Amino acid sequence: MAVDVAWLDNLTLAELETGADGIFSRLRKEAPIAWIPALNAWIATTWRHCHEIAEDAEHFRGGTSPAHDRVFGQPNVLSAEGQTHGELRRVIDPPLRPRAFKSTLDTTVRAAVRARLDELAGRTHVDLLADYFEPVSVRCVADRFGFTHISTDRLQRWFHSLSHAAARGLVDPEAYKGGDAAAAEIREVVEDMVERLRGRPDESAISHWLHDGMPDGEVRSIEHMLPSLLIILLGGLQEPGHACGSTFLGLTTRPEQLGRVVENPALLPKAVAEGLRWLSPLFSGASRVPNRDIELSGVRLRQGDTVWLCYGSANHDEAEFSRPEIYDLDRPAHGHLAFGTGRHACSGSAFAPQIARIALEELLARHPRIRLEPDHEIIVRGWMFRGATELPVRMPRRPRKSRAASRYSFRARSVEEAETFSAPPQPDGRGTADGDCERPPSARGPDTDGAGHLPQRAVSTKSITWSAAVC
């Protein structure tokens, strides 16, 4: 019997922003591929349909929305296919592969994390998201790409402006102004970098973008680089920080699990992976476009339609995960879709979890009794980019003595372990990233905790009031 989805006709973007959990839960049950008039697009919400569409290169090409095209321009890595896509990935991917970055994690990422914590020393009340997670995220990613001379505050402003324009431009053209201004600033900065790097290449990602695969004396044009660079800066600057936020928030809903992570930082790779599944920062950040008219699960998709892949909803698919609304450190190993899957999977799927792991490891070592501000309502919102709007915490002044030996013995194997838990999954359940950065298979099993118990408490990510302390 056909399901009545007339309620979607009156669904507004504001309702999607504030009520995504309930809306997408209903869509997974009633209309897993649904036309959303407010978006002028289809949206796929289940694990199976997101996988099928993302992996189907015959019937679907990479896509962006008109808003994305307006903000980023073309050609870009999200929508390009064939030779153009291959060329873009060959210059984007190498600096973000484990073999390229893991030897420098302590000298770059950990150093930046500790420097930020030093700046916060003495403060007992902070917004963990704005004051720590986001600054660490933008600093580590920007430095990797060569933007070492750009201030952290300016980097944060760039990604907030681009994010707002991409998510709201179609319904609020005023939102484009901030995105246009950020893009113009970035172009000016990159033009200066190109002039410097043209004759003096270095090891930054931007330098490799300019020179790799080009004839001697030639570099790629800014027009070729800039659209994909804007996308990398938007997704890359925010993803690790918001992965930290999702993980920390999830752990506060399970105080005993937060305590275990404080005691044993070796659990952090799995904690971050579960945070990315539980509250995916790039909730609906990918799309595909049918190459021709096609019917899928009884729905007729027209050539040229936009189909948003709601990976965050797929990560809550009740057919795939038991009690998916609960953050559970003991959930059996299972791939997630926070970084997408297939040829357009996120290039930063290995690097971002490492930033999150180190940021949380150092934070909890210095502040093992950190807790959310009591009785402060944590608001989670967004349908394209999703996360807490703020994370106000108390950080007691008297830290407990850290166990340096256990923390530092973990570093040597942390990259490989994190890859096991964070790899974008394939249809058979294994985790393998797009390109040639392979990861071990993920085991699958019954979705209870390690002791066979059901999770402690269901906590919605829509609106959370919670406080936790580790004593």
How many Cβ atoms sit within 10 Å of the Cβ of residue 56? 16
In one-letter notation, the amino acid at residue 321 is F
DSSP state of 442: P
In the predicted model, what is the mean pLDDT of residues 344-357?
95
In the predicted model, what is the mean pLDDT of residues 191-208?
90
Alpha-carbon gap, residue 416 to 425, rounded angstroms: 16
The pLDDT value recorded for residue 55 is 95
Sheet holding 60-63, edge to edge: 33-36, 41-44, 307-309, 286-290, 60-63
Q: Are 398 and 405 in contact (CB under 8 A)?
A: no
- Contacts of 300-305 spanning 24+ positions with Cβ under 8 A: 301/33, 301/42, 305/41, 305/42
Q: Which of 79-93, 327-341, 457-471 has the lowest mean pLDDT?
A: 457-471
DSSP structure string for 387-433: EES--EEE--SSPPPP-HHHHHHHHHHHHHHHHHHHSPB-TTS-B--
pLDDT at 237 over 50: yes
Alpha-carbon gap, residue 287 to 310, rounded angstroms: 8
Please choose, from the candidates 231, 339, 287, 280, the residue with its C-alpha nearest in 3D space to the C-alpha of residue 36: 287
DSSP structure string for 211-227: HTTPPTT----HHHHHH
Alpha-carbon gap, residue 30 to 367, rounded angstroms: 45
Strand duo 463-465 + 377-381: pairing: antiparallel
pLDDT at 425 over 80: no
Local confidence band at 133 (pLDDT 50, 70, 90 cut-offs): very high
Give the residue ranges of DSSP H helices in 151-266.
152-168, 175-199, 205-211, 222-252, 255-263
| Mean pLDDT estimate for the chain | 84
In the predicted model, what is the mean pLDDT of residues 303-325?
97
The pLDDT value recorded for residue 299 is 95
The pLDDT value recorded for residue 2 is 63
Local confidence band at 443 (pLDDT 50, 70, 90 cut-offs): very low
Alpha-carbon gap, residue 265 to 8, rounded angstroms: 44
The pLDDT value recorded for residue 253 is 96
| Tokens matching residue 44 | 């796929």
| Tokens matching residue 160 | 């907030």
Q: Are 261 and 267 in contact (CB under 8 A)?
A: yes
The pLDDT value recorded for residue 465 is 33
In the predicted model, what is the mean pLDDT of residues 419-428?
42
